[in-house]
Structure 1
Amino acid sequence: MYEVHTVENGVQATKVIEDLNRLGYEKDDIYILAHDKERSKDLTEGTDTESVGMSEQGMFDTLGNTFKSRGDELRSKMSSLGMTDSEAAHYEEELDKGKVVVVGSRDE
């Protein structure tokens, strides 16, 4: 199960994270993605959320991401959180516009 929100900035991302917490998502279940790696890292650290890593993607996808374009890497990460390829492509386009994607993803 997952829930996706597109926001403009860190303030809006924080509000979405609070909403996801009220819906039962833990901080470990929430991921923030931005097209710029540093922005993504800063937002993840600033909101104490998770980064999409080996536990979500697996070793081969994680290693493969080092050779992919940022767009391919982001789509791969979103797919690993449960999105279809078309959903991942749609949200990657939003990231291209400078937006931030907040994903709550958990097993049920």
Structure 2
Amino acid sequence: MKPFVREYHNDQKLQNDVQKLADNGITKEHIYLMSHDEDRTERLANNTDANTVGTQEMSLAEVVGNIFNEKGDELRNKLQDLGFSESEADTYEEDLDEGKVLLMVTESKDIEKII
């Protein structure tokens, strides 16, 4: 099952939505953030008690390969690890290129009704 995904330009709106998820019982283990700016991603994850998509979601070969990949390739690989097709990962990576932050929720609840 693919994660629920929503794109954000506004960090405050993102933080508010992550809080709504937490208030509705969605735990940190199911909430991921991703952006092109690693500092921004880490800051938002720390402020919202969310996760970033890191090495625990990737195979060793991908971790080693990503050391040599461009940032876009690395993000596309991470998206595919979460269950997105190559074309979906390309589309989301283009959104990240535009400065958006992705909120991904792996919980099976109806997230659309929460945020």
TM-score using structure 1 length: 0.85
Give 1:5 deviation, angstroms.
Answer: 0.4
Give 1:87 deviation, angstroms.
Answer: 1.0
Distance 1:60 1:25, change over 3 A: farther
User: d(CA) in 2 for partners of 1:86 and 1:23?
Assistant: 32
RMSD across aligned C-alpha pairs, in angstroms? 1.9
Give CA deviations for 1:18-63 in whole Å, capped at 9, x if unaligned. 3444665321111111111211121122211112122211222122
User: d(CA) in 2 for partners of 1:79 and 1:36?
Assistant: 19
Distance 1:62 1:16, change over 3 A: farther
- Structure showing greater radius of gyration is 2
In structure 2, give the amino acid aligned to 1:77: K
The alignment status of 1:42 with 2:57, answered yes or no, reads: no
Match of 2:33 in 1: 32
User: d(CA) in 2 for partners of 1:88 and 1:54?
Assistant: 17
User: d(CA) in 2 for partners of 1:19 and 1:88?
Assistant: 26
User: d(CA) in 2 for partners of 1:50 and 1:74?
Assistant: 15
User: d(CA) in 1 for partners of 2:80 and 2:103?
Assistant: 14
Alignment of 1:86-101 (within 5 A): 86-101=87-102
Match of 1:70 in 2: 71
Match of 2:112 in 1: none
**Which runs of structure 1 show a deviation greater than 3 angstroms over 4 or more consecutive aligned residues?**
18-25
Give 1:15 deviation, angstroms.
Answer: 2.8
8 Å contact 1:16–1:102 — kept in the other structure?
no
The answer to which of 12-21 and 37-46 deviates more is: 12-21
Structure 1: runs of 5 or more not aligned: none
Q: Give the 3-state SS of the residue equivalent to 2:50 in structure 1.
A: coil
Distance 1:46 1:67, change over 3 A: same
TM-score using structure 2 length: 0.80
8 Å contact 1:5–1:16 — kept in the other structure?
no
User: d(CA) in 2 for partners of 1:93 and 1:51?
Assistant: 18
8 Å contact 1:82–1:105 — kept in the other structure?
no
